[in-house]
Each structure stands twice: as C-alpha cells, then as structure tokens.
Structure 1
C-alpha cells in the first residue's frame, strides 16, 4: 500500500485496519498448502486477492452511499467519494502489479477474469436494485459474479502455483464458488436477522438501499397483494417509514424466506464440501471445511 502520495496509505490503511474476516486470502494460502506447495508465491497472490476485494469495498461504499462499515466510519464518509474511488483504483492497479510480479500468465488470466466478472456483477446489481420483479436466476447471477467469482479464483490460483492437475484446479474452484455463494446468501439473511440485532449489529442496510436479495425475491413471490404493495412502496418507491423494517422482518419470517435462504446456503456448502473429497484429510483441509462451516453458521 505504500505510496509517496500520503493519502493513499492513510485511506487504504483505514479500511484494512478496520478488520474483516480475511477469508479470501486465507483461501489462496490454504489451497496452495493443500496442494503441497512449499514456495512463497501464494503469499503475494493472497495479498493481491485481498486488494481486489478491498478495492471493491471502497467503490461499493461510494455507490451505496454507506457511512459505516464493520461499525466504523467508511473511507468515503471521512475523505469523500473522490478520494475513495481513486484509492480503490490504486488498489486494483497494485493488485495487477502483484499479478505481473508473480510472472504466471495463467494466474494473471484467472484473477483478471475474476476482476472483470466482479465489475459486471456490480453493474448487474445496479440494474436489479429497486426492482421487485427481479427473479431468482437474476439474483444468483449477481452473487455468482459479485462474490463467488473472487472466492473461486482465490482457491484456483493456489492449485496453479503448486502446478497441480486441472482436475484439482477445478475442484478447488468449485469449492470456492460454492463457499462464495453460501457466504453471500448468509450475508443477505443476516441483514434481516433478529439475532444480528441482538448482537448490536446493524440490520436493514440492504432494505434501506432497496437491494433485491434472495429473501426479498422469495417474499415478493410468496406474498399476497397487500404484502407485494408493501415491498413495492419500500423498495421501488423508496418510501420507507419508521416501522417498515420490523414489518419487513416479520413478513420474511412469516413466509419462511430467511430459513429457506439459509437452506439454500447449506445446499451450496454441501456441494463445496463434496468438491474437497479428492484431497487428503488433514489440518489444511479441515481449515477449509471450518471456513465453509463458519460461513454458513455465522451470526456476523
């Protein structure tokens, strides 16, 4: 992150110091280890994966107009939108420098393809925002691009640096994709979770932004006309009142939308677990399975 332009390390340092799960770089490190890799290329690539993710967070917070992330003020609320976008661009560029320094065209292709897919997913989400007619397939396309693509790439490059077979590369990619989709589905449920509220975490950000996530897709499809009118007023017209979020949470529970979304997350997690069956049991494999189980069972 170092740069002679002081604002860059200052702003980038703020979002990185804010914490987070560091799940994506862990996937790169563990995937290389499970393939028996003993060099150090995976470390630079893990940093590269985290920089791509961090750049998208900086840009997302600007697009969403978010003031808080992980309970702290966002970079855009402290330094403004222009600085956040530009430092996000710097981190993307730094990620590409790290890829080039690695020297593998295959790694460069996997991670640059993932970066392009993430951007497409963000634009696709923009098009589905505030549209209650959005279907399940559109929603899944968005999260496969926006979230799962980087998880999948993070895993696959571990096998590439270890020079393992394409079969193992694809198995790790499948694991990452299943984990990424499950992770995002759980994220979307947590935004309406009473448990999340009890932990003192912010709930309702997606609701306030008019984002159409799987719980909403299910609720709109299963609701009666009165309920659909409520969703249209809140998410399409963005006419939200003080008691609308509690009512939204009530409707989502009444129509089993949160529990069914979590079941869907468990299905993707099961597929991811199955993809790992070709690898030997041991502490590294257990770490990956633990990350998968945490992603589905987490309350934050």
Structure 2
C-alpha cells in the first residue's frame, strides 16, 4: 500500500493549490482504502507480477473519492468519518470541481495503463454509480421505498465499485472473461 499511497500523492498534484489542499484533505481523511486493497489482492491472487495494479488501485480510489465528494454535496453532508466534509469546508462548487479533477486524473491514468477493458469497466461502474445517486436523490423522504429499491441503490453505489476493484486485479493478470467473472 505504500506504493499506492505514494502514487496517489504524486497524481494528486496540481498547479492549483486549492486542488492540492482539498484533494489531500479528502484522501487523508482516514478511509480504509478497501477498494485499492481489493485490486492488489485480486491481482496477487491471479498471479500478476507487474506494476500496473498499483495504478489501477489509485484509479479506483480516485473514482471512489470523487463519488464521495459528489455524494456529500448531493446529501448536503457536513461530516464524514468524524471530520468536516470538503463541501462544508470549501463549499459545494469546489468540492464538485475537485471531484471532477479526480475523475479526469483517473481517466489519464487509465490511458497510461493502456488496457481498454480497464476504461470500459470503470466507465460502466461510474455510470451505474451515477444512476444509483439519482435513484437515491429521487427517493429521499420516500416512506414507500421498498427494500428491493433500497438494495438496488446500495448495489449501484457500493457493490459495483467493489466488483470493479476485484475485476481490475483480474484484468491486470490478463485473465479471460470467464475467469474474471468468477473472481
């Protein structure tokens, strides 16, 4: 994870100081980094010995962090993990824009990895996450929300990114479609 953290700090750098400050604040907020760990473990379990899985771990964390920044704005959250949210500290506009910066930095890194399946997988995952966010926003305060609808939101927002993390490790190891799905 040290290599992941170092690359994350390197890729967070911008010529705009506020991006550096806000990005560092949210990345260093005490998250468990479960998704990057999932990428690393899946790659190892699949016998991968290269280094692209480090980039993939950073990519998934940047995507996850961007979703958190956007989610906190939509939910009007003021606290996350016992700390002030970025939007409470810097405002909604800067939080959304730094979330967009993290997405675009993740896309740059996907190009560096040069594997179309990585781009396809994360494009699909971010679309599903966005749909889950919209579903959640539309159902806010809905007392008639069914358990199935609630579980669909969770699957869209949380489970999909974990599944993508596991599959990224398999993509790094160049497993075929059937093997990736088994993982």
Scaled by the length of structure 1, the TM-score of the pair is: 0.56
1:179 maps to what in 2?
A: none
1:50-69 matches, within 5 Å, as 50-69=61-80
For the residues of structure 1 that align with 2:182 and 2:32, how far apart are their CA atoms?
23
Structure 1 residue 156: Cα displacement: 0.5
The residue matched to 1:134 in structure 2 has which SS?
Answer: coil
1:13-59 Cα offsets, whole Å, 9 max, x none, are 00111111100010001100000000000000100000000001111
Distance 1:156 1:168 in 2: 10
Unaligned runs of at least 5 residues, structure 1: 173-300
**2:126 is the alignment partner of 1:115:** yes
Alignment of 1:5-154 (within 5 A): 5-154=16-165
Segments ≥4 residues shifted beyond 4 Å: none
Please state how far the C-alpha of 1:165 moved relative to its aligned partner. Answer: 3.0
Query: Which structure ranks higher in relative contact order (CA pairs < 8 Å, sequence separation ≥ 6)?
Result: 2
1:145 CA displacement? 0.8
Distance 2:118 2:13 in 1: 24
- Residue 94 of structure 1 deviates from its aligned partner by 0.7
The alpha-carbon deviation at position 166 of structure 1 amounts to: 2.3
What do the CA deviations read for 1:131-176 (whole angstroms, capped 9, x no partner)? 011112211211111111110011001111101232320022xxxx
CA shift for structure 1 position 121: 0.5
The aligned runs of 1:1-300 (5 Å cut-off) are 1-172=12-183
Q: Which runs of 5+ in 2 are unaligned?
A: 1-11
Rounded Cα–Cα distance in structure 1 between residues aligned with 2:66 and 2:174? 29
User: Normalized against structure 2, the TM-score is what?
Assistant: 0.91
